[in-house]
Amino acid sequence: MTDAPAAKDGSLPLAGKVALVTGGSRGLGRSMVLAFADAGADVVVTSRRLASCQAVADEVEAKGRRALAVACHIGHWDEIEGLVEQAYDAFGRVDVLVNNAGMSPLYPDLASVSEDLWDKVIGVNLKGPFRLTALVGTRMAEGPYGGSIINVSSTGSLRPAPDMLPYDAAKAGLNTITEGFAKAFGPSVRVNCIMAGPFLTDIAEGSWGPSAREHGMPNHALRRAGEPDEIVGAALYFATDASSYTSGAILRVDGGIP
């Protein structure tokens, strides 16, 4: 990963800021956590498994930044308020929120999609981000600092696939609430969305990952899937003042989706 860009005054662009990243223990989330730390931010790392969060938090602290590991199932509303309280108790503020946590269980056919599977997918990918954004965004808007909220969507929201339909539907909803929250919390809070294409994360290895590594993505403009660190540029753009006049936007980072 390249060094974070310096701000106009020569300082790190997120110095003195606090970022909270869901799904922060691996994949795109881990890359963003470490990039924010390199840019000067203290970081709250959250996912379902505390040990995994703590491992990434240790990496952040090794960079000289503060970190808090919190176990939270983002699909459970009763856990989200506790996550927010722990973050504010530890740091007194959240300046950057990244709704990155996601899940897309496999199923043999659409008739096999159970109500439980549907509810879990909607819960993690849409319901949880809605609630977390409502809580943190309200505090950001009422506080003296404002903030930036970044949703991580999917190109499946534009090109839905039968074998990922609940996930793609949830991500389409995430696109929608991005613009709605931008209007609700402006002008001091910016809300934007990274619409991610295929990335070679450990989650993807169980489905199309091995094929993508071996054969590339021949129908995409760049002919390949992305590496997790390639999400960092877009995340830093939205997290910092580089995007000071950008809100309600959806940025495709997908290698040129066909």
Classify residue 5: in a domain, yes or no: no
187 cis-preceded (ω within 30 degrees of 0): yes
pLDDT value of residue 7: 54
Grouping H, G, I as helix, E, B as strand and the rest as coil, residue 70 is strand
Classify residue 6: in a domain, yes or no: no
pLDDT tens profile 70-114: 999 999 999 999 999 999 999 999 999 999 999 999 899 999 999
Runs of H (alpha helix) within 21-150 = 27-38, 50-62, 77-91, 115-122, 128-142
Confidence grade of residue 213 (pLDDT, cut at 50, 70, 90): low
Percent of the chain scored above 90 by pLDDT? 82
Classify residue 195: in a domain, yes or no: yes
CA separation for the pair 237, 25 (Å, rounded): 21
Q: Which two tokens stand for residue 97?
A: 């929120």
Classify residue 52: in a domain, yes or no: yes
pLDDT value of residue 201: 84
**CATH assignment at residue 185:** 3.40.50.720
From 88, 145, 167, 245, active-site residue: 167
Q: Rounded to the nearest 5°, which phi and psi values hold at 194?
A: -95, 120
Q: Check if the beta carbon of residue 156 is closer than 8 Å to that of residue 167.
A: yes
CA separation for the pair 123, 6 (Å, rounded): 37
Query: Is 245 one of the annotated active-site residues of the chain?
Result: no
- State CA 41 to chain mean position distance: 16
pLDDT value of residue 219: 86
pLDDT value of residue 218: 83
Across the chain, mean pLDDT equals 92
Classify residue 120: in a domain, yes or no: yes
For residue 140, list its beta bridge partners: none
pLDDT value of residue 2: 41
Classify residue 217: in a domain, yes or no: no
Classify residue 86: in a domain, yes or no: yes
pLDDT tens profile 117-146: 999 999 999 999 999 999 999 999 999 999
Domain that holds residue 137: 18-199+231-253
pLDDT value of residue 210: 62
pLDDT value of residue 216: 75
| Domains identified in the chain, total number | 1
Confidence grade of residue 225 (pLDDT, cut at 50, 70, 90): confident
Q: How many CA atoms lie within 13 A of 77 on its CB side?
A: 10
Classify residue 70: in a domain, yes or no: yes
Span of 10-14, 53-57, 177-181 with lowest mean pLDDT: 10-14
pLDDT value of residue 215: 63
Residue 33's alpha-carbon distances to 64, 111, 207, in angstroms, are 13, 38, 25
- CA dihedral defined by 236, 148, 104, 46, rounded to 10 degrees? 90
Other Cβ atoms closer than 10 A to 78: 8
pLDDT value of residue 211: 64
pLDDT tens profile 1-54: 344 555 555 589 999 999 999 999 999 999 999 999 999 999 999 999 999 999
Grouping H, G, I as helix, E, B as strand and the rest as coil, residue 42 is strand
